[in-house]
Structure 1
Amino acid sequence: MQSTPGDTPGSNPHAAPGSLVEFIRTDRQTTGYVLAGLSALLLVLAAWTVYKAARPVDAAEPDKPKKADDPFSLDESPVKVKDPGRNDFIVGAVDAVAAFVVTASIAAWWFVTIPPLTEKGQRTQARKLILWVTGELGALLIIAGVWYFYRWSGALTDWLDKGQEKQARWVLFPLLMVVVGDAIVFIGMQPARAEERDNAKLRKLVYGTNVGLAVLLLFEALVVFNVFIGPRLPNRLDVTGDGFYSLSSGSQEFLKRLDQPATLYAILPEGSRGSDDIKRLLQTCQDVSGGKVQVKIISPVANKGDFKALVAKYPVLEANETGVLVTVGEDEKRHTFIREDEFSQRDPGGAPGADPGRSFVGEARVMRELLFLTENEKKAVVYFTQQAGELALEPSPEGEVGPNASAAKLKTYLERNYLEVKPLRFDPAAPKVPDDATVVVVAEPTAPLAEAHVAALRQYMTEPRGTKKGKLIVLASARYGPKDKVIATGLEGLLAEFGTRLGDRLVMSEVTRELELDPEVAMVIFSPMAQRARHPVAVALGDKSVFVAPGWRPVAAVPGAPTFKALPLLITSPGRANWLEDERPRDLRRIVTELNTSPQIRAMKQLTDNPRPVGVVVSEGESGRVAVFGNGLIISDGIVRQGRDAGDPITFDLMGGTVDWLRDRPLLNFGTEPKKYKTFTLPATADETRGLWFPLLFALMVVTGAGASVYLVRRRAA
């Protein structure tokens, strides 16, 4: 075939026709029939959607009236999708009718139009046809997908946050429509690119379509990132030096293991530092929980209707206007309210007349409330025996009961963590541990327990009460009896049944130049064995804990109890030689001389450079049963008075964590110390002058350089 006048062979190698273009050019009649058939299919689709939209529907949920006190409020709750409704089919019908009109019009135009005389013109016309059909149909499909995605956005929350996988289809179908529409537009644009250099009209169509498609793809990428990836990323980055806005590892683990949904209603004013910190804390809890915690911000001013509805449901809000309402469960019946002022506390100490400052305690407060509510508001009961001179639970003036004989501060600490603390005084006629006891504590006995009382504890530990088994904590430092001998506690036999030996000797340590401590004072840390075993208490406190106290007893794990696993938890700090004394050390110089000169005495007193265990925990299967510590003074009120730092001593965390471990509860309070508010002031130095003039000098250099560049380019062009 001879070339027509409009053809120039080899003039544009990129304009090589494709098979679809050649088919449309050479078989116009079939192409018209295909377009007519496509328009007929779209007409059928439009008729079906019109039928669906016009059919009778079940009684729909009436529209919610606007709140009387806030007529301009918007219903922000997302649509719950079960099946497409009438409005959905109406939109589908409009979209299908528009697609029918487009394809039918193009088909009619194709039948009545006279084809160009040249092959090049025919190919150009075919490429325009492909571009028009795919562009119009793709755009209509994209518009429908975007509308349905917005319309069915409620399914997104049910799918991602609540795990309802059946709702995923109402999210994926609209996204699939948008992606298919993009693909149709992109594929239809490719044949026209062959003439973008030679045909100005096609070039405008191609470039315009390309820009629109690029903008749409960017929008889709932003939607996918914000909808699917964004919720899995932290809400904000914490760039503070002390991690002010980060949750502790214990809190994160607890939130991830929540087995019930929780809702936190933040009823707070706008614009204050405290309110912003509380909201930030709640948002972090929501991010970490993986959808188990939902946060709702309610302004008492801007959301009056919502606030009144909450007050009607929760009367506790009538006397409290600002704070956080914590609810747990699907019905949200279990609830409590944390006032705004309870999220911070005034720091103790400070110079007279000076402001001591404040600290943020919101994390510990929220975690305690959540833990309490998820336990169905039933407090665990911890009993402290009061039979053999143990630490008293009631505060008394110093002189009646000294600080080393009282644990009133510990009682307050445990009660603050939603534990009920009671004294245990055995009935002389029939000693028995109460049935409601969760944990029994024997703290610092000054005399051996009576056999009847030990028998009651043995019965409590060995005879299950339904599904509950006894839990026991023993804390006993070296106490002296007649002839300055270390007295026994009376519990040695019972503890041996659980694979633990509580020694009746005193741990002594050498005096070094680095540590000029009294030989009776030992530095105690968590054992590497407990760290490797990932024991919850050791993991939570091990990296920051050193317990310093006098009078430690040795505690060891012993074989013979196959059903129990004993693990050394506390050991003396390495670097100090230690030995054991079975009586009060009155002549330290003589003791040291004997150790240096007599191998027999060194062997008898077990002199060693290795750390010595002074605390053992015993578990049965996955559940804790017994904890034995060779010192009870570490939880006495005296330890609080000796502490220099504000807040509770770390030994209280040790005790609280041990109780939680025995109860098979997560250890929440570790790492949730108060976070002090700090004010950073820039130093008044020459940096202020540099900060003022350096930007001006830099801007002058940029402007001068840009002007010189323009001048040189114009001179070269001239």
Structure 2
Amino acid sequence: MFLNRAEIWVGALAVAAFLVLYWTLRGAPPGQSATAEDDDDAPRSGYRDRVIAAVVTGLLLILAGAYVAATRGVPWSLPLFALGFGMVLALAMVNQRYRHSSPSLRRTIEYSNAILNTALLAGVLIVANVIAFRYGGHVIDLTRERAYSLSSLTMNQVGSLDRPLTFHLIYGRGARAGRQLDRIAQLLELYRTARPDMVKIESVNPFTDLERTEDLAKRAPDLAVMQGGGVLIEFGEGEDAKYVAVGGQEMFDAPPPERSPASLDRFESTFKGEDALTSALIRIREGRTAKVAFLVGHGEPRLDDLNPNGPGLGLWKARMTSNGYDVTELNLLEASVPDDVELVVVAGPKDAFKPVETARLKAYADRGGPVLAMLGNTEPTGLDDFLLSFNLELGKGLVIDPQLNFNHNMQLVHCILKGGVGHPITDSLGSERSVLIANGAPIEILGTKPQAKELNKSVDRRFVPTPIVKSGSRSWAETDLKNPRPRFDQDVDQAGPIVVGVAVVERGAEPAAATKPRLVLFSTRSIAENIVQGIEPTNLDLVMNAVSWLRERPNAVGITPKTHVALTLTADPLLRWRLVVVPTVAAVLTIVGLGGLVYVVRHE
């Protein structure tokens, strides 16, 4: 529409400003005669009106120059600035001789000088800040949390760059991603400032820059993992460039839970962006990768499926690749587990493992290789004996929860991490987050049930399972899956909380010997599938933590996160009212008192 154009409103404001300023300086609105000058040397009223109108026009040209500089660029504003300042300065100098004989011209000259001095001071400050920002080197960081300082490790990495480094700042969707964007951009600017000749920053909005995003995705498949925004690091140029993605969820801690009234005066937020980016930069420069083998041949979800609404594992693979893992597929019918494989993943098989495959997997585990398994009990897995060797077995029934579920589907159970046993896999996720367990089975730990039930099952004391994920207290393992309205049957159903995630360590021969991570088992096939972790992103964080724990090598280099603490004043409504009203009334009385004092002094 015609009224939606900004130029129309700017023009209307300019006309209104002209009328107000003209009225103020002239002493009367347009069309009315102004007060006559008493001095015989004063110029005629027509001359005064023309001078005032020209001065007002010059001042408005200065404001127009500022508007054009902000919207179109500085070069376009220079003619307006030159014309505006020239008019005001020339008129002020020419009419300086009338400052004693004409009050209106004296008022005009004084106002003009004050506005020119203010504009000059503002211009000097703006130019000085721009020069200092672009050419002044490192900023002086006076913040308590050192928000604008890079660690010595990061400075060494950036300072020793021998190839160009480009940070592609990827926009995310949602309010939280928008709030995180500014903090990430500030951090990237610190990297660029440390080495402006080698570091470049580019912003990419995947929702509007479709062609550019598609081009980046062809060169860096890891871009698919950053649904919530983040940074795509490009090291090098051309065909030899290397890419690694760092998602926004890797740079920020989980959002804090709802605060209790006792803690309303303190709010903490933790930013781990420097640790994540520098760790990724070190991995991409050194080419350091860890080989992870996903077992295939049993109907497992595809690793190359990036459809966010599908059952593939492509988003998990992309996240692992961005964290420095070399993800491969392995068919145990064709070969044993190679010696260079650091982790084997059994991700949701539909068909049972054959004896030769189980034997090869067991041989890998016997030589100390860690295993991450995601298994259900709806189909035979052929891995029952393998799990028994770690003092574990999958029980009967499926875990359902009538209260904590997704979209009223009781078999899609939300398992809150709060109140669980502390473990490195779950500690960093926060106590208020949950994981989504679809068609989960109860995990039974040998040695914790009555002896009569485990009469023929031996317990290997070397392996110590620890529950890391449990369902809610109102859940149970339903055995009658054909019942459309399941009810808990205490005679056949296992009551909650039910263990659906277990981590197993191996104890050394000596009592004081360190333990070694050996196995992580989740009793659901789909915990890391695209569609499930799209519903609950904590699932992806959980399996990534499990991978890092099993390898005993965290992907971060250990740079201290920036913790921002905001202190707020809590007050009851009466106190808040006083805090607002008392200073306001005191300020008004002070202004009135000073004005009255000045009036009395000048009157005397």
Structure 1-normalised TM-score?
A: 0.42
Q: Report the structure, 1 or 2, having the larger helix content.
A: 1
Greater gyration radius: 1
